[in-house]
Amino acid sequence: MQFSIQREVLLKPLQQVVGVVERRQTLPVLANLLVKADGDQVSFTGTDLEVEMVATTAAEAVQNGEVTIPARKLFDIVRALPDGSKIDVKQNGERIALNAGRSRFTLATLPSTEFPTIDEIELLERVSLPEDVLRELMERTAFAMANQDVRYYLNGMLLDLQEHTLRCVATDGHRLALKETQLESSVSTRRQIIIPRKGVNELVGLFETGEGQVELEFGRNHLRVRRGGVVFTSKLIDGRFPDYESVIPLGADKTATIERDVLRGALQRAAILSNEKYRGVKLELSPGKMRIVAHNPEQEEAVEEVEAETSVSDLAVGFNVGYLMDALSALRGDKVRLNLRDAQSSCLLQEEGNDEARHVIMPLRL
């Protein structure tokens, strides 16, 4: 196997796949990338047995072949070479030689036959949508995923595919984030899949600010995403996601509409004196205003008062201030609406006049 390629052309696919490779592996070959030269293209595959990423790019003077090369070393060498370098890659037996100008590197390889590949997925549904739309769906919900929760199905993100709608939902049991978008074409069967946390993070990191389309292929045990010269495949979490629609409070008729930046600033200041362990703040509503009160074990107190469009009187509910600020950061628009039912109810946070993004935060007993 051999090929020649410009440094910048090679660096991009390596950046896309190297993040999948874990620093600690169960198998030595998992520290390597599978490099395949075929025709006028070279593909690079990284996997950790859960997530697989394949990036393909054009190359010159290609001699077909495949081998596995240490991922981090290859990436670090290419990144450290000067801009504009032309890199010649050639396999010599069990070694790979990289030559660029006066730089010479020889790396050990492992046979491509040892490299694990994800089986062909059983395709159940395929949908296409703009890349920036999918990126926004995932970025604005990913923060609410659980991290190493014993309820393993919470350590990921739900993709809920309905007739004309795709929803991304994440929850850690204390809060829930939901964002949806309308699809151009309808699907016949509702499908729900859970992508593991690592798959979500790698996918979000893959997206660019381009205006291209991405294809989502829903399989029985896998999700595959195709974008340009990159194919991303993730195993799914085998579990049943909670009935998230039942968590969204019904009959939350006590509302308050507030400037988003004003509320976020007030919460940031109040959080300074909140209890470091519980991070609790109390929201007190009265006509035309909201008071935000925080206490800590040193008997210190912070009180912030902000204007609010509300007619509610004598309602006080406690919440984790970090969860409130995370939700506000994920919302857009100048104003947000808080929907409450009573002093024990969860809070539904939305952008004013927009139901596509919904955030639910469970109350704290203060």
Number of Cβ within 10 Å of residue 260's Cβ equals: 18
CA 20 to chain CA centroid, Å, is: 14
pLDDT band at 366 (very low <50, low <70, confident <90, very high): confident
Class of domain 248-361: alpha beta
Please give the structure tokens belonging to residue 207: 């997206």
* Alpha-helix runs per DSSP H in 102-240: 131-139, 197-206
Residue 30, phi then psi, degrees to nearest 5: -70, -15
**33-49: pLDDT as tens digits:** 999 999 999 999 999 99
Show the CA angle centred on residue 223, arms to residues 248 and 23, nearest 5°.
100
**122-137: pLDDT as tens digits:** 899 999 999 999 999 9
Residue 258, phi then psi, degrees to nearest 5: -140, 150
CB 178 within 8 A of CB 141: yes
Which pLDDT score is estimated for 209?
A: 66
- Tell the CATH superfamily of the 123-245 domain: DNA Polymerase III, subunit A, domain 2 (3.10.150.10)
Distance CA 289, CA 259 (A): 12
**What is the CATH architecture assignment of 2-114?**
Roll (3.10)
* Cβ neighbours of residue 319 closer than 8 Å, sequence gap 6 or more: 280, 281, 283, 347, 361, 363, 364
Q: Where in the chain is the domain with CATH 3.10.150.10?
A: 2-114, 123-245, 248-361
Start-to-end C-alpha separation, the chain: 66
**165-177: pLDDT as tens digits:** 999 999 999 999 9
Q: Which residue has the tokens 């974008």?
A: 227
